[in-house]
Structure 1
């Protein structure tokens, strides 16, 4: 299975576990009027659902371990050199945050009139060039996109040893 599919499968497993938890709530109790007899049989018993939950949880742990190992062992090339996927993912996240901050600085005017107390006028001066930060933000964002593209490509060429056919 490709690493990209494993990431999707993790989401599927979380959803399946949530559904099993809901099923426990549905089958663990029955509301009856006083004197009414308990039903004789259920389609699935509480132990059946608990067993299914244990299996999904075991698969989730195995999948997590394999994904984490692949994220550490798979290397990609970045402008900062070769690094494991896990580090590249964090770098892309950091670059996006930096680009957002620079975009906010770029959106501010070079001079901004503010109103002070008792009719005084205060002028806030930017101690930087907003247009230069706009350009920096674009460059950083492009770098984050390149890293994200390399991560996606690595996710589709990296395989892990997990059979997800039961879920996908």
Structure 2
């Protein structure tokens, strides 16, 4: 059987998902026609059953790709910061690193101390950060670098790993 890079399988799955939406839309467009009473409806384009057959095949191919992608993401590993992990775990870690970097950016953009506006009593209040914003800005920068580095490793692995799938119907 023909093999393709995992990266191509991931891209193809996205293309096929869009193709499913297009076929469903085509079914809706071809399912009904408007005619005058007594006239025989004329088929414009493909029949609903022809579209359904193609839709069924594309859906089957998406399921097959899903299975192959999930299996590859579990079976193949990436080395990152001295730790070996399956691709699926590396993908999740990259998401978590980006989320943590975003949080730290928000904290890093805060002032150490600023006037807290209130209404009434004439007291001057301050909002004081219970951490060093500069330190969190630096942490955010490092976490973003780590996330980019890990994403690059994942992308490289996605081109290295091959899955058994015949994509000739689509490319």
TM-score, normalisation: structure 2: 0.93
Check the 8 A contact 1:6/1:67 in 2, yes or no. Answer: yes
CA distance in 2, matches of 1:117, 1:28: 64
CA distance in 2, matches of 1:103, 1:43: 54
Answering whether residue 19 of structure 2 is matched by residue 16 of structure 1, we say yes
Aligned partner of 1:135 in structure 2 is 138
CA distance in 2, matches of 1:158, 1:71: 9
Q: Residue 85 of structure 1 is aligned with which of 81, 84, 87?
A: 87
Aligned partner of 1:32 in structure 2 is 35
SS in 2 for 1:160: strand
Per-residue CA deviation, residues 48-89 of structure 1 (Å, 9 max, x unaligned), is 111111100100000000000000011000126000000000
Check the 8 A contact 1:12/1:167 in 2, yes or no. Answer: no
CA distance in 2, matches of 1:43, 1:27: 7
Q: Unaligned regions of 5+ residues in structure 1, if any?
A: none
CA RMSD of aligned residues (A): 1.2
CA distance in 2, matches of 1:42, 1:127: 69
Q: Unaligned regions of 5+ residues in structure 2, if any?
A: none
CA distance in 1, matches of 2:132, 2:48: 65
Answering whether residue 108 of structure 2 is matched by residue 106 of structure 1, we say yes
CA distance in 2, matches of 1:43, 1:95: 49
